[in-house]
Structure 1
């Protein structure tokens, strides 16, 4: 209802100087690693090397070399998707007549691992039609501006949320679907006819009020989420913000060395449970894929490019780490250690803490002594009568209602001190309502293909990273093993302002979801494994 309200104030401020548009830049950090890379250091020192990173300036090419990162830029869709047959055949689907879509739709749907069928050609054509809507017409619908004479208002359908967030972008980033207007010099003057033909400010659809650097980070995250939801929802998945902070845990092999972690701001694509009660309780399955929206716009130095790549590497590694938690239980940090079991102060009871000392003084004060010791001291005469008259008369509007006593219940704040005396390990880092699964993983190959949808500027790309299982074991403090290189295929950057590139990005996300949600022959799906012994795990899950 109030879309674009952030730009209303700038319409009337004609004296405000708008800075020039932010140039579009992308990082060009492409580390390469040989397939049979000879290790320069033993695998056990990998965690120690990663733990030396405390700030962005500490990131060096040595860290990518130790992880054996190998980036393949501008990969084709056939290279990104492990099985290219899951990509939508756009050339064949585009020539199907409209009246034959219902019949052809049933033939193009494939079984999924959640027991349902995948979307078909009819859903694809709907998404294609929605994403090809002209930005100006879509922004008119968002801002509730009437269409010009002879034109009909654009019907955005499922893409309404996407265009609403894209309209926010137009206030900071120049719409590349519209050729830039030459800025008149100070010497040139506009004629009266040009002023009459100009669109009034309240009917304009593209009003840039800032630069791309000033764009709030939430706008980019919301745009990426809305775009991926257009495809993921039809495959039985949804984009959800993690309830616990996503962390890449680093556990040294030596028990004496403390563990650490790298946090991240990624969001995840989760599979929605088929059971309605679990879905309504917020239970999710996965993660299926990850989403990363970053606010960086300047990539002039190598350090800035390394930082952006490091954020993507952390995102894919922690996603693979969470997918590998299937059929595992969390071991909390410090569980069973002496500093979480032995009472403080050498086992003694200890003295009072904080306000507990004040409570002891109150118990020993005169107000707690019996009336026999204090003596019978009557109140001054007339005090009780005057108080009763004041209560009945009250203020200007009559007697005031009885006010709730602000006195805290006796011992109400003392619970915090009791909690302090309890010896417990730190809180859990696993989501209690998440059923961790490696959905779409090929079993028995020794690696996991993790997908990441990355966003920069007003562009997105899809990244596929092949994470070896032996690398995850080393990060978890396991035995020292050699692992193959971590190959990362990156697609080209798709401009969300251009309809044609939006459709290309949608086709790539479609192929990603179709491959991850495919039904693997020989494995039981969530509908068939209700009696395979997992009921006990489901009963322990917190559904409150």
Structure 2
């Protein structure tokens, strides 16, 4: 099966389950990365399930809340050699891809209320650039060529009217208005525009479905290989996620625990029903009503 067909099949299957819970799936709009201190490691993410805001204005703006569940469809098919023995390196590499995707979702869910502007407080936004010189003077950037052409056109039209060559209203104003200053080229010199970084500006990050009384977050992923689907669950402590982002030691922190369901065959109708029930249960758990401080 072509990769894109498999991706579309899994996404359609998962999104059909998420829609009754006022959720949708979307492809990553910024590069999905796991942060280890100053190191950013790219990870594989096919899509993620987000909750749509109840406010219509925010919904029209394309804003989303979450993420809730990650979706990872991998094209790898060979995990055994010709003799049927498992390829340990390929198996471990595939597991690393899954763990990396889970940690990336955990870090995004941990961003609730911590959004900062890109480059805020950094040296490249606070110190003078270009050797401390004054730089480019934006006030001198005026479209003189456009103004001259407009003046020339008005004078030619006036001469034609006086010679009787043209009759009627020429639509030439008595006074040629000056065009506004072109600031598009000047603004980068007047202010520093930082990139948006690795935070999607249209996503309200938050740990939806997390119990506030718990110090650990439960992260889910719909993992797919070939025509099979498995549900992966990672329980990670908040301090562990914070230490990964900060790049500090993880020795004395609770280690994450990983659990996996069986691999469900989508070609089998009975297993498709079991897969639907499993993903439905995950969505129902994460979008449950406020009970015991859950959100």
Please classify the TM superposition score into its range, dividing by the shorter chain length. 0.7 to 0.9
**TM-score when normalising by structure 1:** 0.42
| 3-state secondary structure, aligned to 2:232 | strand
User: Which of 30, 36, 44 is residue 250 of structure 1 equivalent to?
Assistant: 36
Q: Which residue of 2 aligns with 1:262?
A: 41
**Aligned pair 1:296/2:81, yes or no?**
no
Contact kept? 2:228, 2:263, Cα under 8 Å: yes
- CA-CA distance at 1:520 after TM superposition: 2.9
| 3-state secondary structure, aligned to 1:497 | coil
Distance, in Å, in 1 between the alignment partners of 2:275 and 2:42 is: 28
**Aligned pair 1:275/2:55, yes or no?**
yes
**Aligned pair 1:488/2:251, yes or no?**
no
Relative to structure 1, the CA distance from residue 351 to residue 434 in structure 2 (aligned partners, 3 Å threshold; closer, same or farther) is: closer
| 3-state secondary structure, aligned to 1:430 | coil
Measured against aligned partners, the alpha-carbon deviations of 1:434-483 in whole angstroms (never above 9, x if no partner) come to 12221111223321110000111111110001111111111121764622
Contact kept? 1:460, 1:494, Cα under 8 Å: yes
| 3-state secondary structure, aligned to 2:246 | coil
Relative to structure 1, the CA distance from residue 424 to residue 507 in structure 2 (aligned partners, 3 Å threshold; closer, same or farther) is: same
**Aligned pair 1:455/2:241, yes or no?**
no
**Aligned pair 1:221/2:1, yes or no?**
no
**Aligned pair 1:497/2:252, yes or no?**
no
Contact kept? 2:34, 2:107, Cα under 8 Å: yes
**Aligned pair 1:346/2:125, yes or no?**
no
| 3-state secondary structure, aligned to 1:310 | helix
Larger radius of gyration: 1
Matched positions, count: 252
Alignment of 1:127-526 (within 5 A): 172=1, 215=2, 217-251=3-37, 259-266=38-45, 267-300=47-80, 301-330=87-116, 332=118, 334-349=119-134, 415-416=184-185, 419=188, 422-477=191-246, 480=249, 482-523=252-293
Distance, in Å, in 2 between the alignment partners of 1:268 and 1:260 is: 23
Structure 2 unaligned spans of 5+? 81-86, 146-178
Relative to structure 1, the CA distance from residue 522 to residue 448 in structure 2 (aligned partners, 3 Å threshold; closer, same or farther) is: closer
Q: Which residue of 2 aligns with 1:395?
A: none
Which structure carries more strand by proportion?
Answer: 2
Relative to structure 1, the CA distance from residue 423 to residue 230 in structure 2 (aligned partners, 3 Å threshold; closer, same or farther) is: closer
- CA-CA distance at 1:502 after TM superposition: 0.7
- CA-CA distance at 1:222 after TM superposition: 1.2
| 3-state secondary structure, aligned to 1:238 | strand
- CA-CA distance at 1:331 after TM superposition: 5.1
| 3-state secondary structure, aligned to 1:443 | coil
Give the superposed CA RMSD: 3.1
Contact kept? 1:454, 1:460, Cα under 8 Å: yes
Measured against aligned partners, the alpha-carbon deviations of 1:5-45 in whole angstroms (never above 9, x if no partner) come to xxxxxxxxxxxxxxxxxxxxxxxxxxxxxxxxxxxxxxxxx
Measured against aligned partners, the alpha-carbon deviations of 1:145-183 in whole angstroms (never above 9, x if no partner) come to xxxxxxxxxxxxxxxxxxxxxxxxxxx3xxxxxxxxxxx
Distance, in Å, in 1 between the alignment partners of 2:286 and 2:25 is: 15
Relative to structure 1, the CA distance from residue 295 to residue 416 in structure 2 (aligned partners, 3 Å threshold; closer, same or farther) is: farther
- CA-CA distance at 1:278 after TM superposition: 2.0
Structure 1 unaligned spans of 5+? 1-171, 173-214, 252-258, 357-362, 364-408, 526-544
Relative to structure 1, the CA distance from residue 513 to residue 424 in structure 2 (aligned partners, 3 Å threshold; closer, same or farther) is: same
- CA-CA distance at 1:241 after TM superposition: 2.0
| 3-state secondary structure, aligned to 2:89 | helix
Distance, in Å, in 1 between the alignment partners of 2:187 and 2:209 is: 47
